[in-house]
Amino acid sequence: MKAISLLSKLIASTVFVFINLLSAKAQDKPIIKLDKVSAKDFQVNSPVVDNNANAVILVDIGSTEFEGNTNGDFSLVFKQTKRILLRNRNSFDVATIKVPIYMGGMTDEEESFGNFEATTYNLENGQVLETKLDKASLFKEKYNKYYNIRKFTFPNLKEGSIIEYKFTIKSPYYEHLRSWQFQDEYPVLWSQYQVTIPPMFDYISVRKGYLKFSIDSVASVFKTYSIIDPGEANVASNIYRFSGNATAALWAMKDIPALKLEKYTSTNKNYLAQISFNLRSIRFSDTYTKYVVKDWFKTSEDILKKPDYACIKDNNGWLRDGIKSIVSESVQDEEKVRKIYAYLRDNFTCSDHDSYRQSQSLKKTFQTKTGNVADINILLMAMLYNQGIESDPIFLSTRDNGWPNESAALINQYNYVIAKVLLGNTVYLLDASQPRLGFGKIAEDCLNGSGRTINKKTPWVIPMSPDSIKETTNTAVFLNNDSLLGVIGTYSSNLGYYESLEARNEIAKEKQEDFAKDLFKVYPQEIEASGLTIDSLNLYDEPIGINYNLKLKFGDEDIVYFNPLFDEQIKKNPFESAERQYPVEMPYAKNTVFTLNMEVPKGYKVDEIPKSARVKLNEDEGMFEYMIAKNDDNIQMRCKVSLKKATYNPEDYATLRDFFAFIVKKEAEQIVFKKIK
Partner 1 sequence: MKYILSFLSLCFSLVVYAQDYKVSLIPDSLKENASVVQRFEEERVVIKSIDKAIITHKCAVTILNEAGDRYSTFEIEYNKLRTLNFVVGRLFDADGKQLKKVKEKEMADQSEAAWFEFVSDSRKKTYSFYHKSYPYTVEFESEIELHGIYHLTEWRPMSFSGDYSVQQSRFVVEAPSDYNLRYKQFNYPTQPVITTSGSTSTYYWEVFNQPVFKNELWQPSAEEYMTSVVIAPTKFSVGGYTGDMSTWDGLGKFQLTLNKGRNELPDNIKQEIHKLADKLTTKQEKVEALYNYLQLNTRYISIQLGIGGWQPFEAKFVAEKKYGDCKALSNYMVSILKEAGIDANYVIIKAGSHIKQGLWKDFPAPYFNHIICCVPDKDTIWLECTSQTESPGYMGTFTGNRNALIVTENGGVVAHTPVYSANDNKTITNVSANIAEDGTLIADVNTIYSGIAQEYPHNLYHGNTQKERDEYYNHKYNLPTYKVENISYKETKGKIPLMDEYLSITSSGYASITGKRLFVLPNLFSKIDKLPTDKPRKFDILIDESHTAIDTITLTIPKGFKLESTPKNVVLNNKFGFYSIEYNVKENIITTIRTHIENENRFPASDYLELAKFYDQMYKADRAKMVFVKSE
Site residues for partner 1 per CB under 8 A: 51-54, 89-90, 92, 96, 137, 139, 141-144, 149, 151, 153, 155-159, 260, 346-349, 351, 368-370, 508-510, 517, 524-525, 559, 561, 571-573, 576-578, 608-611, 657, 660-661, 664-665, 668-672
Report the C-alpha gap between 595 and 609 in whole angstroms: 15
Distance of CA 113 to the CA centre of its chain: 30
Q: How far is the CB of 135 from partner 1 (least distance, A)?
A: 14
Q: Three-state SS for 445?
A: helix
Report the distance separating Cα 534 and Cα 545, nearest Å. Answer: 6
Smallest distance, Å, CB 671 to partner 1?
8
Residues facing residue 282 across a β-bridge = 201, 290
Q: Which is nearer to partner 1, 409 or 552 (CB)?
A: 552
State how far the alpha carbon of 234 is from the alpha carbons of 3, 231, 237, in Å: 19, 8, 9
User: Closest approach of Cβ 63 to partner 1, in Å?
Assistant: 28
CB of 377 to partner 1, least distance (A): 16
Question: Which residues sit opposite 533 in a β-bridge?
Answer: 547
| Smallest separation, CB 590 to partner 1 (Å) | 19
State the minimum distance, in angstroms, from the CB of residue 630 to partner 1. Answer: 13
Nearest approach in angstroms of CB 610 to partner 1 is 5
The answer to whether the beta carbons of residues 413 and 397 sit under 8 Å apart is: yes
Comparing CB distances to partner 1, the nearer of 158 and 313 is: 158
- The helices-and-strands tally (H runs, E runs) of the chain is 10, 35
Q: How far is the CB of 32 from partner 1 (least distance, A)?
A: 33
Nearest alpha-carbon partner for 574 in 622, 608, 523, 619: 622
Spatial distance between the Cα atoms of 479 and 500, rounded to a whole number of angstroms: 25
Nearer to partner 1, 485 or 559 (CB): 559
The three-class DSSP label of residue 419 is strand
Q: Among residues 43 and 144, whose Cβ is nearest to partner 1?
A: 144
Q: Is the separation of the CB atoms in 214 and 25 below 8 Å?
A: no
Residue number, 98 or 616, with CB nearest to partner 1:
98
- Calpha distance 450→296 (Å, rounded): 15
> What single DSSP character describes residue 133?
P
Who's near 249: CB < 8 A, 6+ residues apart? 194, 195, 196, 197, 205, 217, 218, 219
Are 510 and 494 contacting, i.e. CB atoms less than 8 angstroms apart?
A: no
- Burial label, 597 (beta-carbon count in 10 A; 0-12, 13-18, 19+): middle
Nearer to partner 1, 317 or 524 (CB): 524
Cβ atoms of 164 and 132 within 8 Å: the answer is no
- 632: burial class by Cβ within 10 Å (0-12, 13-18, 19+)? exposed
CB of 391 to partner 1, least distance (A): 23
Residue number with CB closer to partner 1 (139 or 210)? 139
CB of 158 to partner 1, least distance (A): 7
**Closer to partner 1 by Cβ: residue 220 or 370:** 370
Per the document, the length of the chain is 677
Residue 555 Cβ, how far from partner 1 at the closest point, in Å? 12
Q: Going by DSSP bridges, is the β-strand pair 349-352/370-372 parallel, antiparallel, or unpaired?
A: parallel
In this structure, is the dihedral angle defined by the CA atoms of residues 399, 405, 406 and 409, taken in order, positive or negative?
negative
In this structure, are residues 52 and 66 in contact, taking their beta carbons and an 8 Å threshold? no
Q: How far is the CB of 667 from partner 1 (least distance, A)?
A: 9
From first CA to last CA, the distance across the chain in angstroms is 96
Residue closer to partner 1 (CB basis): 138 or 218 = 138
The widest CA-to-CA distance across the chain, in whole angstroms, is 114
- Complex with partner 1: residue 310 or 661, whichever CB lies closer: 661
Q: Report the residue number, 91 or 391, with the smaller CB distance to partner 1.
A: 91
Nearer to partner 1, 541 or 557 (CB): 557
Residue 153 burial (CB count, 10 A): 17
Task: From 621, 629, 495, select the one nearest 568 (Cα to Cα).
Answer: 495
For partner 1, the closer CB: 295 or 510: 510
How many CB atoms lie under 10 A from the CB of residue 461?
14
Selection from 548, 445, 430, 575 nearest residue 502 by Cα: 445
Closer Cβ to partner 1, 233 or 578, answer by number: 578
Nearest distance, CB of residue 658 and partner 1, angstroms: 9
CA distance 391 to 419: 6
| Closest distance of CB 440 from partner 1, Å | 22
